[in-house]
Structure 1
Amino acid sequence: MPPVSTTDRWRLRLLAARGNIAVVLLVLVVLSLILMWLGYLGKLDCGGAPYFADGRSEHWPVGKNELLMPCYSDLQFLWIGRDINNHVFPYIHGGITSDGVLYGGVVEYPVLSGLLMYFGAIGAHTDTQFFQHSALILLPFGILITVLLGLMTRWRALLWAATPPLILYSFHNWEMPVVATVVGAVAVMYFGAQESSRTGRRRIPFLTAAIIAAVLLSIGFSLKLYPGLFVVPLVAYVLTRGHGARSAGDWSIEQPDEAGLSGGLRGRMLSIRRAGLDWVGAAWVTGAAIVTVLAAQLPFMILGFEGWKAALSFQGKRRSDVDTNSIWYWGVRHLTDAADISYNSVVGIASPLLILASFVLVVYLGVRVWRTGEPYPWIGVSAAMLAGFMLFHKVHSPQYTLWILPFFVLLRVAWPIIVLYLLADLSLDLTIFRLFGIYTSGSPMKWWVMGGVQFGVWTHALLLAILVFAFVRAPVRMYVRKTVGPPGKVPDTVAV
């Protein structure tokens, strides 16, 4: 038998690697489809005939059967009251009344989410049809997230594809598209950093990958706002060229020839480059993010400024009530009367200030990591910013778990934190909607309902406070695909 050549060994390793990842992706996709299907069936229990004249199912919001999982979903809720049922194009003709009621097709979400809702309502005449159409729109985004996480983390992606949040929230609200933009941005940086087997270089140039990631995050901003926050740590990562501070002065990347350079501006530019700070690249990433946001927002601002502004005004006027599940309602409210103006004033001032302070803190903590010689941890800082936002914002909807779950997959977070977070999430979702029903009907409160809500809210708050710090230093937990090619070209790490 002739000896196996180096090329043949390389091809065999390639085929084995492709076979392994194919098995991983197949299992992940099948599991996620099963869980999303279960979630779809559970939410569908709130729909179906008979209907009222406006297309609202008489089974909404409690459902036909006594299911463990509450069937309430925001998808069906939004059918009435936002002119979605009247098929009015969003934002252009609407506004907001003095008492905070939206009209004329305005929805309280950024413009791209409003467009998706409008598309979901096409051909729908009942809330159940709208829910079904919306689920079809959301499904591909859920599968895309599963595939991307699987490619980056292999079996670790089971945390996304095989845990309760996928059942509870896949079709609860419009979370899947915005989560896909965040995971997509990380994936672009990850795959771009892989070494090409043909050229021996990055698959995507560093700055090009960062610009694409910024565009994706900005699209996410026009879906649910929070991904726009992540542009800040991404810019910091590009500014520092993806290297640690101790590497400054040792890099030769794009450094010009010193011959012929005099003092003044050109000399200062050379000094900046030697310091390892890429201001031009950071400006490109920032500009790409701004242009993308303007491209999404300007058409609505021009054609219907009042309707566009009404969506922002609604969020500004929104109070931290029982349906917001926040530390403000379940904590600060007990220090004063919830109906008192002082409570809403405190929340209106303290919430944004604490959110901003948490952002400044985690960006600074990222700088401290960078000063130790590590690359600026833009993924960890992004996750920490999200944790601060979720902790201090006056609204903490249960489905926000889908926002933070991919970071549990991508970063090395202690297992007890993840398990406890998911248990608290399950407790909150299974009780909060029953709490609403008890308040509405005036029925006696059940201890396990109130206990489940309190456990969920305060456990989440405690863990989010821990994660604000833990995320920043959490190592990236991604599969580093070895370069396919001759020995000696295998990178030890992959920078994202």
Structure 2
Amino acid sequence: MSIGPAAGAFGADRVARRTTILTVVLLCGATLLVAFLNKARCAGSPFRADGRSAAFDYIKDARVCYSDIQFLWLGRDIDQHIFPYVHGGITADGTLTGGAVEYPVLSGLLMWLGALGAHNDAAFLLRSALLLAPFALVTAWLLARLAGRAALLWAAGPPLVLYAFHNWELPVVCTTVAAAAMMASTRYPLRVRGALAAMLLGLGFCFKIYPAIFVVPLMLYVLTGGEREHAEPRVRRRPDIAGALITGAAAAVTVAAFNLPFALAGYEGWRASIEFQQQREADITTNSIWYWGLRPLFGSDPLSSSAFSEIVSIASPTLIIVSFAVALWAGWRRYAESGVYPWLGVSGAMLCGFLVFHKVHSPQYTLWLIPFLVLLAVPWPVVWSYLVADIAIGVGVFRYFYTMGTGDSVELMEAVVRFGVWGRATLLVLLFWLFLKVPLRAPRTSAGDREPGDLMNEAGRRTHG
């Protein structure tokens, strides 16, 4: 029996797809090694009595090798190997005590696990990197399956080098991408996929808060019948209210299952993580439009500083909520036109609104955004422009701090930081609208190739027209 041209082409596509996936994962592993070596330049002997690398405070900004992982070896009782939250609390001045940390429970648990057997910050950094790296590799594998060569943006891009081991972001990104992969599958009915994806987003909430915002567009996707493979764009079916409620309940139950044990065992320590974030202000370390845009309008006296903080505490959450509402409304408009609610594009737009208006915009948050740039067909010049602005922040802000410490002129580095802050904010506004309009990126394994029968692309074309 001879193999026809179509079968041969399909077999070649499968080989090319597997080669692409393998290449992406291997390159991701190489990038992670570079990322670790970059941060490890700040760690090593000689050590102080408390396990801090003696050189850390002197070189972290100059060499741009600072990481929150190494920094938080001290100040959160991680070096004392105290189990997080259970015995903790927060003082009136915002100091965390007794093992409390400022992150949700699963991130705190990872911090504790990374410290087991470690007696200095270098060992803590290494053990934490070993815990985190698998999440980045799984993310690379999933993105390569969903978007082909575009996944190289995650696997070999500057953000992974700069931020892979800057903080504990890799697990939460992995859960978000896994939720997208679950919704792209055809293995289970829509209700089941929605519930499983919601559980993954709930799990992500327990690492870092932001995936919770994606549950609402996911519920709307299930409510409106998902991809509607056999439906005409303007044909309406009965809303699946039960399916939407099951999706929301799955996320809520997952969050409760991981948080309740900590809340019951030590409520004050569990609540301290929330209180810490509420008390945090938009200062020079937060890289937000509030500090670089609104703060200069206020004086330097305590009363002016207090007024600035009060305005930000109201304006920031208000504008975030407004941006969420606009994204959800725009998604509903797309649903009215196409018959499919673009839950992934709406989720990306909501993330952009959060990043623009939140009072804190840490450099490593770029890792949250990269999967959306991979999965949605954003024009590549926009992607490259965002990376340039991000590098200006990821590198420039630490050089800025270093220059301030030396007493030299800071004008150049301050200009770099301003460029990064405003360039990034401007592009996030652009991405807000692009995410709502562009289709899902067609996975390519070689020049001109497209994966056959890919559900995400078919749904994306119907959704975005």
Q: TM-score range by the shorter chain?
A: over 0.9
Map of 2:203 onto structure 1: 219
Question: Which residue of 2 is the match for residue 139 of structure 1?
Answer: 133
Unmatched tracts of structure 1, length 5 or more: 194-202, 251-273, 485-489
Q: Distance in 2 between matches of 1:454 and 1:128?
A: 32
Residues 47 and 63, structure 1, Cα contact 8 Å, conserved in 2: no
Alignment of 1:148 with 2:113, yes or no, is no
1:435 to 1:35, Cα distance in 2 relative to 1, 3 A: same
* Match among 273, 288, 304 for residue 266 of structure 2: 304
Give the match for residue 4 of structure 1.
Answer: 2
Between the aligned partners of 2:194 and 2:458, the Cα distance in structure 1 is: 18
Match of 1:407 in 2: 372
Instruction: Give how far 1:445 is off.
Output: 2.9
TM-score of the pair, normalised by structure 2:
0.92
CA drift of 1:483 comes to 5.2
Q: Is the 8 Å Cα contact of residues 150 and 157 (structure 1) preserved in structure 2?
A: yes
Sequence identity, in percent? 46
Partner of residue 72 from structure 1, selected from 66, 69, 74: 66
**1:267 paired residue number:** none
Query: Counterpart in 2 of 1:285?
Result: 247
Which whole-Å CA distance do the structure 2 matches of 1:230 and 1:359 have between them?
10
> Which residue of structure 2 lines up, in the alignment, with residue 268 of structure 1?
none
User: 1:61–1:71: 8 Å Cα contact kept in structure 2?
Assistant: no
| Rg (Cα) greater in structure | 1
- Listed one character per residue, the Cα deviations across residues 240-280 of structure 1 (whole Å, up to 9, x for unaligned) are 00157x84895xxxxxxxxxxxxxxxxxxxxxxx7431001
- What SS is found at the alignment partner of 1:22? helix
1:335 matched residue in structure 2: 297
| Aligned residue number for residue 376 of structure 1 | 341
Residue in 1 that maps onto 2:192: 208
Partner of 2:153: 159
In 2, the alpha carbon distance for the partners of 1:23 and 1:124 equals 38
Q: What is the CA-CA distance between 1:219 and the residue it aligns to?
A: 0.4
1:461 aligns with 2:425: yes
**Cα 1:74–1:241, aligned 2, differ >3 Å: closer, same or farther?**
same
Contact (CA 8 Å) 1:482, 1:491: kept in 2 or not? Answer: no
Q: Letter of the aligned partner of 2:59 in structure 1?
A: G
Aligned to 1:20: 16
**Letter aligned with residue 268 of structure 2:** E
Aligned pair partner of 1:352 in 317, 325, 342: 317
Structure 2 residues not aligned, in runs of 5+: 444-449
Alignment of 1:426-441 (within 5 A): 426-439=391-404, 441=405
TM-score by length of 1: 0.87
Ranges of 4+ aligned residues in structure 1 off by more than 4 Å: 64-67, 246-250
Contact 1:237 1:378 (8 Å CA) reproduced: yes
How many Å apart are 1:42 and its aligned residue? 1.1
Deviations 1:147-179 (A, max 9, x none): 111011111111111211111011111010000
Residue number in structure 1 paired with 2:86: 92
2:447 is matched with none
Q: Within 5 A, what are the aligned runs for 1:153-192?
A: 153-190=147-184, 192=185
CA RMSD of aligned residues (A): 2.3
C-alpha distance in 2 between matches for 1:296 and 1:19: 40
Q: Say if 1:398 and 1:187 are closer, same or farther in 2 by CA, change over 3 A.
A: same
Distance 2:400 2:233 in 1: 56
The whole-number CA distance in structure 2 between the counterparts of 1:367 and 1:122 is 48
> What per-residue deviation string (whole Å, max 9, x for no partner) do you get for residues 360-398 of structure 1?
110001001111124101000000000000000000001
Structure 1 residues 377 and 306 mapped into 2: Cα distance closer, same or farther (>3 Å)? same
Q: Distance in 2 between matches of 1:236 and 1:361?
A: 14
Compared CA separation, residues 185 and 491, structure 1 to 2 (3 A): closer
Residues 202-257 of structure 1, C-alpha deviation per residue, up to 9 Å, x if partnerless? x221111111110000000111100010000000000000157x84895xxxxxxx
State which of 122, 127, 133 in structure 2 corresponds to 1:128: 122
Distance 2:456 2:173 in 1: 29
- The answer to whether the aligner puts 1:54 opposite 2:43 as a matched pair is no
